[in-house]
Amino acid sequence: MTTVERKPVFSCQDVHVYVEDKEIVKGVSFEIFPGEKHALMGPNGSGKSTLAAALMGHPAYRVEGEILLNGEPVSGLPADERARRGMFLSFQYPVAVPGVSVASFLRAALSARRGADVPVREFRTLMSEAFDVLGMPRSFMARYLNDGFSGGEKKRLEILQMLILKPVFALLDETDSGLDIDALKVVSDGINRAAGGETGVLLVTHYQRILNYVAPDAVHVFMNGRIVRSGGPGLALELEERGYDWVEPEAAAVVGGTQ
């Protein structure tokens, strides 16, 4: 009987991120397999959002190290090409785009992802199903992208994009910030649906509460630009109970090169 080798959908090895000459991310390595959800947790200012943006190809950052999507290097590619190949980033603070309707934006994004125009009937079906999953009124299709949307509506729309685009790997940057408990449950359900197949997810968050609804396969603690500890779902519960202070000696040890 032949054993099929399981390969990660995303991996990075010894990634360093710089803003001009300042090093923000100081050697990060991890890999995520199809259908896995990983949580990246850490205090404010630790560099979590910088890492997410840099992995996606934000031009403000200089990146060293290896970044692979489905085994293929993407380090030299601009953000739009990474998106076409199946990377997805949900923003902590989604911006409004007056003049561009939600429907127009989504159809253009899906056509770019597929490399061909999406038939109108198929697109409307996909969009209607995604709107129903997230409990969003279909009237939002005609509204301008994020223009006048509440914080919760913006976050739902981010996950709606993920449902429609079906990325290979999704970076979710503090998707839970600003959500009340009802919106958190709806958004979490959308994440679980979107990641239920082959999509790998890295969920960046401060808090354990979203992990009550999006069960992680692994949890990584990020401090001072490094992953200082990794573990299972129980690690998130321990962080919720004890905070990040108890991890600081380990972070200092990593910085000092003793681990």
Is 2 within the bounds of a domain? no
The closest alpha carbon to 201, from 36, 51, 88, 86, belongs to 36
Is 191 within the bounds of a domain? yes
CATH code of the domain containing 160: 3.40.50.300
Residues 6+ apart with CB under 8 A from 5: none
Is 212 within the bounds of a domain? yes
Q: How many CB atoms lie within 10 A of CB 138?
A: 12
Is 3 within the bounds of a domain? no
Is 4 within the bounds of a domain? no
Is 177 within the bounds of a domain? yes
Once rounded to an integer, what is the mean pLDDT over residues 108-137?
92
Is 154 within the bounds of a domain? yes
Q: How many CB atoms lie within 10 A of CB 99?
A: 8
Residue 202 gets which letter from DSSP?
E
Mapped onto helix, strand or coil, the DSSP state of residue 154 is helix
Question: What does the pLDDT read at residue 196?
Answer: 75
Is 40 within the bounds of a domain? yes
| Element (DSSP H or E) covering residue 23 | strand 22-32
Boundaries of domain holding 233: 10-256
pLDDT tens per residue across span 50-64: 999 999 999 999 999
- 18 band by pLDDT with thresholds 50, 70 and 90: very high
Q: What is the chain's mean pLDDT, rounded? A: 89
The closest alpha carbon to 10, from 63, 118, 85, 84, belongs to 85
Question: What does the pLDDT read at residue 194?
Answer: 83
pTM over cut 0.85? yes
Task: Tally the domains of the chain.
Answer: 1
Sheet holding 10-19: strands in order across?
A: 22-32, 10-19, 62-69, 72-73
Q: Which two tokens stand for residue 78?
A: 């601009």
pLDDT higher than threshold 50 for residue 155: yes
pLDDT higher than threshold 50 for residue 40: yes
Once rounded to an integer, what is the mean pLDDT over residues 68-95?
93
Strand 87-90 versus strand 169-173 pairing type: parallel
- 198 band by pLDDT with thresholds 50, 70 and 90: confident
